A and B are shown apart, each in its own frame.
Chain A
């Protein structure tokens, strides 16, 4: 006969699905990195306090229900605000201020018509770009896909703080289907790093199904991709995807983080940290139909020892 705590048995049913996560003691919000914290948000008020619930913060940043980009909006990071609520504050540093100015400079020079923008900068700067381009009518799309942790390898609380900084402003803007601005976290891969037992591995990577296909873009009249990045190549997890967009007829332009230098470029297949990969996909359809987190991808990434996602490494290889 198993021992079942009577009190727990009685109390189980009411706890299911009755509210947002409570605060787990092992994650201490006060120990998160709230550098560049501020007391007021982009509206110069404390309205950010209205967005400390996951649903409220998500509503502020979510594309409208009729937006073709809603399906690509990740709720993981907005969901985390409930977890860190006691210490959560808006974050606004000098780099984000400059990023906002850069985005405005870019938008004043280049048309966003028929364009999709991918901003691959440190999280708070990507958010600043998203908010600035939203003022020009674009739709920011959150792609941040992990949680902050006080022992986290990535300081995603900084990005979360940036979302809070603009939440009230975003929520006041009219929600209508427009061109997308995908906000990415530059540090998400942090390759060549093996986590220690005392570190929480909140790195992540994107898969092709995290973003619209070339056909999806074509249906919305998108013909151009602007990739905002200070790097020579697109990050490794975007390589296959960008090549597929290029093959689908989209034109690519790299935008310097200062928003002024814009150059045409052609994504080409290259060796990445995800190679070599035995691509096992669901073969009832075709080999190009890639399962969004197939074994080969995961396994290859781990075996390469370039990332372990918390495994602490391998006995060999």
Chain B
């Protein structure tokens, strides 16, 4: 194994190098045409604005939040959110027969930064095109924290990879860090602490959805509400992380300006709440739709109607029917293969409103899941 691969593992904390026996990181860049890049850039900025507007609308008019039917803990988290929360997000774009399409907004636990930074540094020798690490570190440091806490599901070392990479960067800047699971972060009425260390800034690499129902969540929310600490990412974006946001837009299209409506209709596949369509209608739409869990991630819990037969699709709707409030139905789109006959997904990092580079995954099939390969991205001049 070459020195560059060793460095990717240990300098950039990329410990999960393989899936299904295949190495995931690719050294050959994905090539993106300049015109496609410009289209993604425009769409990403416009969609970012619409997401921010959605959060503000839900904050101003709590009845809008009812549309989401969130777990009470998630409602409490949203209620504790602050108007000044910066968003650390990645929007997943596909180039399709139908045009440019966005499949989801990763606003809660936005990953892939460490490995992409490593691929740019080590294999492209390009320190300009990818600024997500730098921009995220600046956010973590913006209020001069003495100690940054890293909260992640400690049973998953692959979730520690990005957190450990950022933690290491901060320590080299002289910032103290502490890491642990939700149970390790305690609120004493004034401060948030972990293992006895006061935490000023919390990097929450732990899905808000997974916090719902846990014994420790109430204290965490209370501490945040009391401004005992700052947090990346905040709780306001909960209404963006769930794929229900795309159904929300179509069901509340009147909230948006004509320009915003055009952006939604141009880039966001038509999306419905599963509960509003009902099982029979969704079954009849099988060949045209994808059924997704609102808080699903990594391509998980995505039921691709056109790739299943009626019987298999019906079996999956049994699962969906067990929690009908949690799922959305979305128009299927046809992803175009690239020159390598792979299907790329261009994840555009949007950090506090700034485009910060791409996390591009490519797959042998026209959808992205855990075994998708990761490549740096080169925009063709």
A interface residue numbers (CB < 8 A to B): 2-5, 8-9, 11-13, 15-22, 24-26, 54-55, 58-59, 62, 65, 68, 70-72, 74-76, 79, 82, 145-147, 151, 195-205, 209, 212, 216, 278, 280-285, 287, 291-295, 298, 307-316
Whether the Cβ atoms of B15 and A205 lie closer than 8 Å is: no
Q: Does B110 contact A (CB under 8 A)?
A: no
Interface-centre pick from B19, B167, B194, B369 (highest chain A CB count, 10 A): B369
Known: A16-B117, A197-B183, A283-B312. A295 touches B300 (CB 8 A): yes
Contact among B19, B134, B144, B157 with A147 in the assembled complex (CB-CB below 8 Å)? B157
Q: Mark B159-199, 1 if CB is under 8 A from A, else 0.
A: 01000100111011100111111111010000000110100
B177 touches A26 (CB 8 A): yes
Q: In the assembled complex, which residues on chain B have CB atoms less than 8 Å from the CB atom of A310?
A: 153-155, 180-184
Which stretch, B41-49, B62-70, B210-218, B253-261, touches the partner chain A? Answer: B210-218
Whole-angstrom CA separation of A3 from B142 in the bound complex:
5
Shortest CB distance B209–A (Å): 9
- Max count, chain A CB within 10 A of own CB: residue among B179, B186, B195, B303: B195
| CA of A129 to CA of B23, assembled, Å | 28
B53 to chain A, nearest CB (A): 21
| Residue from A3, A24, A196 with most neighbouring chain B CB atoms (10 Å) | A24
Q: Is the CB of A209 within 8 A of B19?
A: yes
Of B1-9, B99-107, B265-273, B274-282, the one touching chain A = B1-9
- Which residue of the partner chain, among A72, A74, A199, A278, contacts B15 with CB atoms under 8 Å? A74
Q: Using known A-B contacts A71-B18, A282-B302, A309-B154, determine if residue A17 contacts B138 with beta carbons closer than 8 Å.
A: no
A-B contact pairs, 5 of them (CB 8 A): A13-B134, A200-B180, A200-B184, A284-B365, A285-B307
**What is the CA–CA distance of A76 and B176 in the complex, to the nearest angstrom?**
22
Give the 5 A-B residue pairs with the shortest CB-CB distance, closest first. A310-B181, A312-B183, A309-B155, A71-B18, A15-B172
**What is the distance, in angstroms, from B73's C-beta to the closest C-beta of chain A?**
8
Contact B214–A314 (Cβ < 8 Å) = yes
- Does B360 lie at the interface of the complex (its beta carbon under 8 Å from any beta carbon of A)? no
C-alpha gap A5/B299 in the complex (Å):
38
Complex interface: chain B residues within 8 A of A212 (CB): 21
Q: Does B298 contact A (CB under 8 A)?
A: yes
State whether A16 and B214 are in contact (beta carbons under 8 Å apart), knowing that A151-B195, A195-B183, A293-B156 are contacts in the complex.
Answer: no
Is A284 touching B11 in the complex (CB atoms < 8 A)? no
Confirm or deny: B342 has a beta carbon within 8 angstroms of a beta carbon on chain A. no
CA distance A312 to B133 in the complex (A): 31
What does DSSP make chain B's interface, helix, strand, loop or mixed? mixed
Give the CA-CA distance A75 to B184 in the complex, in Å: 25
Contact A204 B176 (CB under 8 A): no
Query: Are B10 and A146 within 8 A (Cβ)?
Result: no
Contact of A309 among B141, B153, B171, B308 (CB under 8 A): B153
Least CB distance from B371 to A in Å reads 8
- From B149, which residue of chain A is reached at the shortest CB distance? A26
A35 to B10, CA, bound (A): 27
- Also in contact, A283 and B13, with CB within 8 A (given A201-B181, A216-B21): no
A263 to B: closest C-beta gap in Å = 31
* CB neighbours of A196 from chain B (8 A): 183
With a cutoff of 8 Å between Cβ atoms, the chain A residues found around residue B182 in the complex are 310-312
Contacts of B173 in A (CB 8 A): 8, 11-12, 15
CB atoms of B183 and A315 under 8 A apart: no
Whether a CB of chain A sits under 8 angstroms from the CB of B319 is yes
User: Does B367 count as interface, using CB distance less than 8 angstroms?
Assistant: yes
- Nearest A residue to B211 via CB reads A311
User: Counting CB contacts under 8 A, is B325 at the interface?
Assistant: no
| Contact (A282, B154) CB under 8 Å given A209-B19, A312-B215 | no
B180 and A18 form a contact (CB under 8 A): no
Judge whether B183 and A284 touch: CB under 8 Å. Answer: no
A15 touches B138 (CB 8 A): no
- B304 contact set on A, CB distance < 8 A: 283-284
Contacts of B20 in A (CB 8 A): 209
When the two chains form their complex, are residues A292 and B370 in contact, meaning their CB atoms are under 8 A apart?
yes
Residues 211-230 of chain B: 1 if any A CB is under 8 Å from the residue's CB, otherwise 0? 00111100000000000000
Q: What 0/1 readout, one digit per residue, does chain B (17-29) give for beta carbons within 8 Å of chain A?
A: 1111111000000
* Given known contacts A62-B1, A71-B22, A313 and B215 CB-to-CB distance under 8 angstroms: yes
A16 contacts B10, CB within 8 Å? no
Residues of A with C-beta under 8 A to B312: 283, 287
Besides the contacts A201-B154, A295-B296, what 9 more A-B pairs have beta carbons closer than 8 Å? A13-B134, A71-B21, A75-B17, A82-B10, A198-B195, A200-B184, A216-B21, A310-B181, A314-B214
Tell yes or no: B143 within 8 A of A by CB: yes
Least Cβ–Cβ distance between B80 and chain A, in angstroms: 17
**Which residue of chain B has its CB nearest to the CB of A292?**
B370
Q: Are B118 and A17 in contact (CB under 8 A)?
A: yes
Question: Inside 8 A of A5's CB, which chain B residues have their CB?
Answer: 141, 144
Say yes or no: B169 contacts A294, CB within 8 Å: no
Tell me the nearest residue of chain B to A15, going by C-beta.
B172
Q: Is B85 at the interface (CB under 8 A from chain A)?
A: no
State in angstroms the CA–CA spacing of A195 and B300 once bound together.
28
A13/B127 in contact, CB under 8 A: yes
> Residue among B18, B184, B315 with the most chain A CB within 10 A?
B184
- Separation in Å of the B82 CB from the closest CB of chain A? 14
Most buried by B among A2, A20, A151: A2
Which chain B positions have C-beta within 8 A of A282? 299-300, 302, 367, 369
Cβ of B287 within 8 Å of any chain A Cβ, yes or no, is no
Docked-complex contact A197 and B157, CB < 8 angstroms: no
In the assembled complex, B331 has its CB within 8 A of some CB on chain A? no
Question: Within 8 Å of chain A (Cβ to Cβ): is B316?
Answer: yes
CB distance from B234 to the nearest CB of A (A): 14
Could you tell me the distance between the alpha carbons of A280 and B296 in the complex, rounded to whole angstroms?
10
Give the distance in Å from the alpha carbon of A293 to the alpha carbon of B23 in the complex.
18
Residue B284 interfacial (CB < 8 Å): no
CB distance from A72 to the nearest CB of B (A): 7
Please, which residues of chain A bring their CB within 8 A of the CB of B296? 280, 295
A94 → B minimal CB distance (Å): 30
